[in-house]
């Protein structure tokens, strides 16, 4: 079985916004408490943040982190997380049926972001609250001083403003599960007025309005059209969310789900173009895909807690998917899709970063380790920056319940002109067969193979644990060769590979 990939220097999709490789921290489960924050941990820094987690996040070079939610934000009072810690209230979180001590708030989170080298992407509560609280939060975070809320920030120990540019106008407001759920018209009007007020403070802000929580919502894609009708000239992005699962244990169908993702992006891109044309606007709205990941492993075990059968625990284990090797392939496919649609998807956030459906896991008072999905996220974030190439791929295909004519070889390519490299991220979805693949490089200078990394495993259900953290990990590839401008490599069945070429 054979496949070909042609990459031409001049056939490009888009310059990739580095925020395509963003992430997400919500006050949910152990994402914050015993995730990034554990003052009694052996590695804790002066702010109580786990240094072992900081080191792992630094490896990923995460450009932006969305905070503090998520469903949590729709009943969150940001004022609870400022001021002396001993004075902060414990609140009940209705979204996840837990309690939150508010020991981590905007100051602590900002300091953590500085320690890992990332930017904040803040969400305002448009569920239980609204415009006034949003503008006050913005003033607290971004105003230099001389006003009520900025002076309060200064009194709380932060003289300089945080200068956060990226703001989410609520979260999943189309979802009936959301605290303060609204119709598209109700939300669109509120988001419009909130955005207008925030722009009155600073017109250079980047604002994200809520799109559909998933492509199966009964209001999709009418929701996008209605909300954008209200907000098109006031916002910069519309958010999309999607999670992937394989409860049926059908690997071939599971690995075809990124076709649905691509269709989802294409549909919303079409809605954006429709509203733009209708409004005769010259402005272009883009997509912020600010929640995505595999999520299904933990759902059954979480049912009792989410139903309230365990009271209101603080930072319990929730949404702690233990990822396997099969999920490596899925995450690689999702990231490939985002790279190929980087013309319209400018921001994306893997949900989430630590413990909660996350690439990094921790044990309270114990170790931190890389989950299996850490690696495709790492490779894309580190080596997927530059220009997305418009590849011509010729691959055998298969039919699955979720999509027809699915190519066995899924590949994206990125040209880093400054670093003089081309990087291919390739997944072989075939269950049993290797595929001999040729990557042709047209328009580039003399090429040489710089690196070749391979991820395979005999057991699709293999996982990493604190005791065996390297059970699923990349290894140096062998057998890749180059002749002229053609790289030849055999892609084993069910494999993820990274091929880096010096050009």
Q: Mind telling me the catalytic residues? A: 172, 291
> Prior bond to 146 cis, omega within 30?
no
Count the alpha carbons within 13 Å of 149 in the hemisphere toward its beta carbon: 17
Which residues are CB-neighbours of 339 under 8 A, at least 6 positions away?
16, 20, 380, 384, 388, 412, 413, 414, 425
Per DSSP, which regions of 344-396 are E strands?
A: 345-351, 360-362, 368-370, 387-389, 392-394
Which residues are CB-neighbours of 176 under 8 A, at least 6 positions away?
none
Per DSSP, which regions of 41-184 are E strands?
A: 64-67, 91-93, 98-100, 119-124, 166-169
Question: Hunting for tokens 């997509």 — which residue is that?
Answer: 287
Residue 468 neighbours by CB distance under 10 Å: 11
CA dihedral of 480, 484, 485, 488, whole degrees rounded to 10: -20
- The CA angle 165-171-174, to the nearest 5 degrees, is 140
Q: Give the Cα separation of 162 and 144 in Å (integer).
A: 9
Q: Give the Cα separation of 337 and 332 in Å (integer).
A: 9
What's the token pair of residue 370?
A: 């890389």
Q: Are 67 and 122 in contact (CB under 8 A)?
A: yes
Count the alpha carbons within 13 Å of 295 in the hemisphere toward its beta carbon: 18
Which residues are CB-neighbours of 415 under 8 A, at least 6 positions away?
7, 9, 12, 386, 387, 389, 421, 422, 503
Which residues are CB-neighbours of 438 under 8 A, at least 6 positions away?
2, 3, 4, 5, 486, 487, 488
Per DSSP, which regions of 97-200 are E strands?
A: 98-100, 119-124, 166-169
Q: Measure Cα distances from 105 to 2, 82, 116, 330, 492 in Å.
A: 53, 6, 17, 33, 47
């Amino acid at each position: 079985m054979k496949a070909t990939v042609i990459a031409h220097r001049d056939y490009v999709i888009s310059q990739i916004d580095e925020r395509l490789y963003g992430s997400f921290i919500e006050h949910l489960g152990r994402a914050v408490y015993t995730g990034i924050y554990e003052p009694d941990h052996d590695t804790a820094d002066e702010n109580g943040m786990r240094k072992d987690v900081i080191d792992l996040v630094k490896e990923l070079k995460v450009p932006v982190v969305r905070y503090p939610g998520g469903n949590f934000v729709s009943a969150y009072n940001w004022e609870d997380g400022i001021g002396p810690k001993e004075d902060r209230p414990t609140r009940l979180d209705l979204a996840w049926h837990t309690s939150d001590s508010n020991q981590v708030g905007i100051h602590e989170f900002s300091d953590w972001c500085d320690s890992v080298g990332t930017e904040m992407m803040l969400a305002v509560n448009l569920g239980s609250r609204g415009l006034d609280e949003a503008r006050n939060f913005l003033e607290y975070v971004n105003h230099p001083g001389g006003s009520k809320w900025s002076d309060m920030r200064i009194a709380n120990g932060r003289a300089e403003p945080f200068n956060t540019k990226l703001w989410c106008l609520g979260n999943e407001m189309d979802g009936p599960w959301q605290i303060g759920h609204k119709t598209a018209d109700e939300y669109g009007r509120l988001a419009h007025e909130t955005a207008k007020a925030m722009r009155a403070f600073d017109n250079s802000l980047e604002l994200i309005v809520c799109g559909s929580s998933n492509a199966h919502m009964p209001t999709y894609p009418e929701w996008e059209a209605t909300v954008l009708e209200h907000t098109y000239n006031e916002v910069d992005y519309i958010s999309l969310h999607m999670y992937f699962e394989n409860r049926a244990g059908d690997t071939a169908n599971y690995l075809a789900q990124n076709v649905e993702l691509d269709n989802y992006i294409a549909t919303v891109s079409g809605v954006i173009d429709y509203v733009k044309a209708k409004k005769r606007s010259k402005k272009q709205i883009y997509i912020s895909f600010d929640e995505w990941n595999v999520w299904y492993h933990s759902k059954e075990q979480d049912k009792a807690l989410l139903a309230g059968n365990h009271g209101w625990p603080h930072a319990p284990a929730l949404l702690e998917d233990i990822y396997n090797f099969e999920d490596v392939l899925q995450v690689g496919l999702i990231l490939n899709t985002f790279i190929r649609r980087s013309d319209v998807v400018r921001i994306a956030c893997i949900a989430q970063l630590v413990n909660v459906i996350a690439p990094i896991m921790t044990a309270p008072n114990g170790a931190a380790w890389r989950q299996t999905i850490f690696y495709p996220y790492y490779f894309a974030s580190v080596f997927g920056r530059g220009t997305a190439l418009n590849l011509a791929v010729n691959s055998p295909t298969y039919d699955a319940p979720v999509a027809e004519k699915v190519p066995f070889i899924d590949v994206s390519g990125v040209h880093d002109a400054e670093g003089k490299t081309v990087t291919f991220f390739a997944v072989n979805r075939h269950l049993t067969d290797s595929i001999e693949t040729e990557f042709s490089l047209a328009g580039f200078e003399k090429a040489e193979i710089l690196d070749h990394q391979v991820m395979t495993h005999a057991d699709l259900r293999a996982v990493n644990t604190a005791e065996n953290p390297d059970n699923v990990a990349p290894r140096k590839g062998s057998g890749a060769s180059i002749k002229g401008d053609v790289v030849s490599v055999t892609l084993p069945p069910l494999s993820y590979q990274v091929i880096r070429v010096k050009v």
